[in-house]
Amino acid sequence: IQEAASDKEEDEVEMPIKELQKVTEINGTNQVNWTEYIASMYEGIDFLPLNITDNYEIVVENKEYFKSLAKILSETPQQILELTLWWKLVDLILPYTDTLMRDINQRYSGVVISRTMFCTKVVKSVMKMVVSYIISDEIFSDITFKKVENMVRNIRTAFYSMVESADWIDTNTKTATLEKVEDVNASIGYPDWILNSHELEEYYDGVEVNGTDFLLDVLWILELSMTDELMLLGSEFTQQGSIIDPLEVNAYYGNQENDIMIPAGILLFPFYGLGLEALNYGNTGSTIGHELTHGFDSSGWKFDKSGNLRQWWSNSSIAEYMNRTQCYVQQFNDYEIDGFVVNGTNTLPENIADDGGLRASLLAYQELVKKNGVEPKLPGFEDFTHEQLFFLSYGNAWCETWTTKYLQDMKNDVHAPQYFRLIGSVSNFEEFSRVWNCPKDSAMNSNQEKCKIW
């Protein structure tokens, strides 16, 4: 089932639940009644936003995964299935039990943190909106908001130019794609409602924190979070950003919303506010470009500007696009470290997004310099050009160390290890070789084909 999940070569497909029922049928029988299963997820929720029937339309990302799942469910003894589910539950709540169990968990993961850091991470994770409310004035300002808005606008304009310059896409498909680029929206910082104490109280209504049973308190909050996500199904897409942690150091793109979500957490030092725009664009800018490119990666291109999953590209453009993706697949299939081999197919959308995001952010910065003039030199780094500082900032964002457990977990991840994401993206980028004077056929400027879509 892991292999089926990691080899996502199939298109996402929209289908009624009853069709999924047929997909998972084994010898005329089914191990799961999918209509009942989905409906059961809403048990205990006062308001049911969906009328879940056999005809309800769902999006299936990988039919082979569900076929493999059905086969495993039909062949595995009931006792083993039950033990597996119980272990998944134990694994989830283990960190919130007692010191002995937390120590076992940390030794297994290979990551040991202090009790203070653990408690801080838990409070931030389970009470994310409250923590954001408390420190919102300290972490965010109108000035930051306006600067990031301008950055998003500049990167969107740069990506628009990249699509315009693409010579492999036909005129009608290009026009429709440019319209989608123009419609990309950005949600920056945090939702306004968390600054309203009354609305914040309503959000946590029903949560009973007793202060004496840590595990029970955490379970209350986890139940609230899951209910929140379930309530989004069938609701307006614009509500998507309401459940994202404002302090998370990450960013997101929603295919159905055509919206980039940029939490306040990634707009803090050392990711943003680095003094020079060369540094800001190299780090945060490339992240914003990455998320924007997700709207046009190997999954995102299937959704039109309104978030509908349908064929809106011509057959010829689709064929050429898919042909170009194979360059990335082969490139990343060749990456290996400590016995771990990257899956180029599984990581394809992220690798395309890294590539497009880096290109769009540098182009946006170059256009900014044309408009506003060259920035001052960075003290202590006077020998570096601003474009070199851009790439240094980009590279700094990918610094990491890894454990054996980390590499094991990466087998199921849609991201390649960060080291390969870095060298993969810059080695495809002619501008990197130009800026750093990389010799022909060197590690970062090989004679092999450089992958490029946008």
The residues annotated as belonging to the active site are 291, 354
Helix (H, G, I), strand (E, B), or coil: what is residue 253? strand
Q: What is the spatial distance between Cα 374 and Cα 278, in angstroms, rounded to a whole number?
A: 10
Q: How far from the centroid of its chain's Cα atoms is residue 182's Cα? A: 21
The strand pair at 252-254 and 57-60 is best described as: unpaired
If we measure between CA atoms, which residue out of 395, 385, 383 comes closest to residue 429? 395
If we measure between CA atoms, which residue out of 353, 358, 334, 359 comes closest to residue 414? 353
Asked if 228 and 268 touch (Cβ cutoff 8 Å), the reply is no
Q: What is the spatial distance between Cα 243 and Cα 235, in angstroms, rounded to a whole number?
A: 13
- How buried is 212 (Cβ within 10 angstroms: 0-12 exposed, 13-18 middle, 19+ buried)? exposed
Asked if 156 and 292 touch (Cβ cutoff 8 Å), the reply is yes
Please count the other Cβ atoms lying within 10 Å of the Cβ belonging to residue 221: 17
Q: What is the spatial distance between Cα 68 and Cα 367, in angstroms, rounded to a whole number?
A: 49
